[in-house]
Amino acid sequence: MKSSESVPSESVPSETAEDQRSEPGQLTGAVVIVALVSAISGMLYGYDTGIISGALLQITEDFSIAELWKQVIAASILLGAVIGALTCSYLSDKRGRKGTLVLLAVIFAVGALWCAVSPNPILLSLGRLVLGFAVGGATQTAPMYVAELAPPKYRGRLVLCFQIAIGVGIVIATIVGASEAIGWRWSIGAAAVPAALMLALMLRLPESPRWLVKNGDNDAARAVLERVRPSGYDLDRELNETAELARAERTASTRGWSGLREAWVRPALILGCGIAIFTQLSGIEMIIYYAPTILTDNGFDTSVALQVSVALGVTYLVAQLVGLSIIDRVGRRRLTLLMIPGAAVSLFALGLLFVTGNSGRESMPLIIGCLVVFMLFNAGGLQLMGWLTGSETYPLAVRPAGTAVQSAALWGTNLFITLTLLSLITAIGVGPSMWLYGLFNVAAWVFVYFRMPDLTGRSLEEIETKLADGKFRPADFAR
């Protein structure tokens, strides 16, 4: 049971038919620009993490490094992401969502230029650590910023623009890597350009109205809503809901990091961190980071391996676009449950090819087919949920802390996988490693089935009310 000082269930009304009629029927230009900035930060995430896949082949030759340094260079951005996610929780709460994103845009640019001029693997790893800080901070802050500015009707699709942009960044990175005509320094340093654009746009955007209300500036919050909502929209209803919730939370025991320990908040934390961990254990980063390395180690030509990497990046993007177009009709929970089995089966089939010795050039179509099918089902299902759950699941008073823990869980799992995957493959082989990740997908399906309610179309306030009432199981959100 939650504390008697926690948010009372009647403090936030759920959406009624009248409420839904007052939702904006169209998006304003300001909200579209907010989504665009979030998309740029997502693209930088996808590009900065994905570019190492092809660049690592050039870096290995330039620096004459072995397997250990390959893993360190690839993983250093992930360690930085853990630090960035945890640090930016504090910054987004104290400086605001906008101020934090402005700082991250600067760090994105500095980190990209640092990596581009690094003379040795040590400084390159440190530069990627700096880049990782921006990546982790953006994944913690950008989806939350969009979710707090977007109307409920469009929140899912706008937050998922961040996820789609990750796919765009990955595709661009794989194309650049496959060209083999661009040196790795230029390809990594080029990320400074979109970072500068992100900074220019962020300086023109407003602060989150929910953050402003939380900090007692209702007049500024109203001004923001007037800017980001169409004419005729019921601003008073949204402001009153947010203000009432903020007042209750200021006097509640459930606040900040300590609030995450409250029993009534725990289901949100379990869901958010569980989804974050399974998005990584499902095998997506294994394929993105190391597909060219795995393929070349098993006899594929470098050019073929890089072309496969491009195909996987394009598949990732297409799957996410399709998922984005249907998610509000199919529902988050149902889509995820439908897609995970396909990813699991493809990994089991891929593992079987390697275990039975059918991993040579004659089996190239089957291997590529398994990789593409995995990417299709994984990117179009479970990956869509990674950032969306964090942006809409946590109560306002603990949202920065909750999203920080979720981001840290995601990046920590990613870091562990990246640091150990090549060693794991050396120890047990490619086939058994694929089977292991296939089993992780089975576990992910079980977790989603029992733990993930369908939050499609629910306002942030309604979600919080359900959580406060102890009704956060899938059956509690059935329509």
Residue with tokens 């400086």: 95
Tokens representing 209 are 């109205």
What is the distance between the alpha carbons of residues 219 and 221, in angstroms, rounded to a whole number?
5
What is the distance between the alpha carbons of residues 415 and 187, in angstroms, rounded to a whole number?
23
* C-alpha closest to that of 47 among 195, 214, 236: 195
Supply the pLDDT for residue 344. Answer: 97
Taking only the tens place, the pLDDT of each residue in 102-150 is: 999 999 999 999 999 999 999 999 999 999 999 989 887 888 888 888 8
- Those residues whose C-beta lies under 8 Å from the C-beta of residue 408, and which sit 6 or more positions away, are 82, 85, 86, 136
The DSSP code for 262 is S
Ranges of each domain in the chain: 9-477
The DSSP code for 206 is P
Beta carbons of 292 and 414 less than 8 angstroms apart: no
Beta carbons of 53 and 289 less than 8 angstroms apart: yes
- H helices, E strands: number in the chain: 21, 0
What is the distance between the alpha carbons of residues 425 and 427, in angstroms, rounded to a whole number?
5
Tokens representing 144 are 């939350």
Instruction: Give Cα separations from 65 to 21, 57, 60, 169 (angstroms).
Output: 61, 10, 5, 26
Phi, psi (degrees; rounded to nearest 5) at 109: -65, -45
Supply the pLDDT for residue 252. Answer: 62
Residue with tokens 């070349």: 296
- Those residues whose C-beta lies under 8 Å from the C-beta of residue 466, and which sit 6 or more positions away, are 453, 458, 472, 476, 477
* C-alpha closest to that of 127 among 80, 84, 65: 80
- Those residues whose C-beta lies under 8 Å from the C-beta of residue 369, and which sit 6 or more positions away, are none
Tokens representing 98 are 């906008």
CATH code of the domain occupying 9-477: 1.20.1250.20
Residue 191 three-state SS: coil
The DSSP code for 7 is -
Residue with tokens 């995601």: 410
Residue with tokens 């725990």: 266
What is the distance between the alpha carbons of residues 348 and 309, in angstroms, rounded to a whole number?
20
Beta carbons of 216 and 44 less than 8 angstroms apart: no
Beta carbons of 126 and 83 less than 8 angstroms apart: no
Supply the pLDDT for residue 393. Answer: 85
What is the distance between the alpha carbons of residues 101 and 141, in angstroms, rounded to a whole number?
7
**Predicted TM-score of the model (pTM):** 0.73
Give me the residues of the chain with pLDDT under 50, please. Answer: 1-24
The DSSP code for 93 is H
* C-alpha closest to that of 332 among 465, 159, 462, 169: 159
What is the distance between the alpha carbons of residues 78 and 413, in angstroms, rounded to a whole number?
9
